[in-house]
Amino acid sequence: MRGDARTPGPPPGPPARPEDVQLAVRARLYQRRTVVVWGRLDDLVAGDVAAELMTLDALGDEPIELAISSAGGTLDAALALVDVIDLLGVPVHATCLGQLEGPPVAVLAVCARRVAAPHARFRLVEEPVELAGAPGDLESFVRDHRARLGAFARRVAEATGRHRPDEVAADFAAGRFLSAEEAVRYGLVDEVGRPDARLVRLPRAGRAPGFGFRARD
């Protein structure tokens, strides 16, 4: 009896590494003028995000979408991104997904349009700082750090439009928590993403498209 004749296909390749999948998804989002800040915001991440923002600014006049979720970061990295966003020639529309804590809060605050997912959480808290060195060096560092904290508080206060810099500084010193609705009242975000927000397909490398939301205009 003659058996089934089947043409063998190519041998399966090695499974994609998570970092390769992440890069592929990030590249697809970038093509849609979407930049992602996910995880701790340090100088390396801030540099990559700044380069993406400036490149997209040069490539077109449409707004840039920024998706952000960060459980902390450095003051210098946050201020660097704030400066980049302030100097761009196109508006940045940001959506907070998950949580936003510490200095990265300012990155969201200075965007032209700011949306929070319904279960997003915010924590206004200062970056922990460790000091070591000669007394003269420490004094200079503390003086510079206080000046940068003051600049940070002034910029967040300006972005919220409802608080004085000393009030913002006090909230960050106290580690204040905010829900998505409280963040609206505070002035950090403009609106909470609604259940009837328009669904959009998100690219996922090698798999069926996933879904996300975009708030209605």
pLDDT value of position 137: 66
Using an 8 Å Cβ cutoff, are 189 and 183 in contact? yes
* Domain count along the chain: 1
In a domain, 12, yes or no: no
The length of the chain in residues reads: 217
Query: Mean pLDDT throughout 51-77?
Result: 94
Is residue 4 situated within a structural domain?
A: no
Q: Is residue 162 part of a domain?
A: yes
Does pLDDT of 122 surpass 60?
yes
Judge whether 163 lies within some domain: yes
Mean pLDDT (the chain, rounded): 82
In the chain, pLDDT over 70 holds for what percent of residues?
71
Query: Residue written as tokens 């609106």?
Result: 191
- Residue 154 sits in a domain whose CATH number is 3.90.226.10
Structural domain for 160, as ranges: 18-214
pLDDT for 20 beyond 60: no
pLDDT of residue 97: 92
- Assess if residue 11 is contained within a domain: no
Residue 104 placed within a domain: yes
pLDDT of 101 above 60:
yes
